[in-house]
Amino acid sequence: MEVYIDGKFHPKAEAKVSVFDHGYLYGDGIFEGIRLYQGCVFRLEEHLERLEMSAKAICLTLPWSRKEISDIVCESCRRNGLTDGYIRLVISRGVGDLGLSPKNCAKPSVVCIADTINLYPEVLYASGMKIITAPTRRISPAALPPMIKSLNYLNNILAKIEAQQHGYHECLMLNDQGYVAECTGDNVFLISKGRLITPAPYSGALAGITRQVALEIAASLRIPVVETNVTRYDVWNADECFLTGTAAEVIPVTEVDARQIGDGKPGPLTAAIRAEFRKKASREGTMIR
């Protein structure tokens, strides 16, 4: 395996960044998680647009064009002989000193890792996942806009730890008002009385790429979509529930906080959306060859 770092590819064991990199020291940077399906980098342009918007939001000027970053992603996949996989594209503020100020960082640094990923056990896609609500709340949008995919995920990691301590793979995270925001790395969707319901973008959730794909699929299937405030009560009484994310794709949820969702099995609309997602995955994006 080879990892791209600032213009060169390095063997995995030799892929290193400086301890003075502000991404390492302070989480000062941004990233994108991207999927490769049958040689197609799924929705690469959308991912790179979001990367650029995150960079602008943290006042980080990117010295590379979108085409240059796209080429880095595709070459990383080719170098590692991948046709299916997961890409982690990371841009940090770069090497500086021990002060917080980004003014001491001469130039940003880019890292691209192309490998495989298995976020959840495959059996859960067929049987559904059980989750709980974590005590840790999502960071307020007034403190850090959730649209920024920053390198500091400690808030989400704490919630993930809480879920794992109780034997669960995943958990709901609430915002500071007590409404459902998202899971630790996935967006949340409900099916209720034939409608697709998901927390609004201002709830504290990331505007996920796979989330947007699910909304587009729902429109094509003529499923009414509602983006609004969502409570745990709404989740408990939903007919179906599923999560979306680049790594997770579309995964059904059959129990939340010990309350069975629907009949306790993955629902038909969830299955339909997942099937349509799989059709889109290998044809909507950028071919690496």
Q: What is the pLDDT of residue 258?
A: 98
CATH architecture, domain 123-281:
Alpha-Beta Barrel (3.20)
pLDDT at 202 over 90: no
pLDDT at 201 over 90: no
Q: For the residues 160-169, what does the mean pLDDT come to? A: 98
For residue 203, give every residue at least 6 positions away whose Cβ sits within 8 Å of its Cβ, in sequence order, or none: 175, 179, 180, 181, 182, 229, 230
CATH architecture, domain 2-115:
2-Layer Sandwich (3.30)
Query: pLDDT band at 272, cuts 50/70/90?
Result: very high
Query: End-to-end alpha-carbon separation of the chain, Å?
Result: 19
DSSP-derived secondary structure for 151-200 = S--HHHHHHHHHHHHTT-S-EEEE-TTS-EEEESSSEEEEEETTEEEEE-
Q: What is the pLDDT of residue 289?
A: 87
Instruction: Between 235 and 207, name the one with better pLDDT.
Output: 235
Q: For the residues 115-143, what does the mean pLDDT come to? A: 95
Closest CA to 277 of 241, 239, 251: 251
Closest CA to 52 of 70, 41, 42, 66: 66
Alpha-carbon span 105 to 109, nearest angstrom:
10
pLDDT at 277 over 90: yes
Q: For the residues 237-265, what does the mean pLDDT come to? A: 98
Alpha-carbon span 94 to 110, nearest angstrom:
8
Catalytic residue among 67, 103, 107, 149: 149
Alpha-carbon span 133 to 250, nearest angstrom:
19
**Percentage with pLDDT > 70 across the chain:** 100
Q: For the residues 191-211, what does the mean pLDDT come to? A: 93
Q: What is the pLDDT of residue 282?
A: 86
pLDDT at 159 over 90: yes
* Extents of the domains making up the chain: 2-115, 123-281
CA distances from 154 to 21, 26, 95 (A): 18, 11, 22
Q: For the residues 167-193, what does the mean pLDDT come to? A: 97
pTM of the shown model: 0.95
Query: pLDDT band at 137, cuts 50/70/90?
Result: very high
Q: What is the pLDDT of residue 94?
A: 98
The verdict on whether 107 is a catalytic residue reads no
Q: For the residues 181-188, what does the mean pLDDT come to? A: 97
Alpha-carbon span 11 to 152, nearest angstrom:
26
Closest CA to 190 of 270, 282, 100, 109: 270
Answer for the pair 162, 135: CB distance below 8 angstroms, yes or no: yes
Alpha-carbon span 99 to 20, nearest angstrom:
10
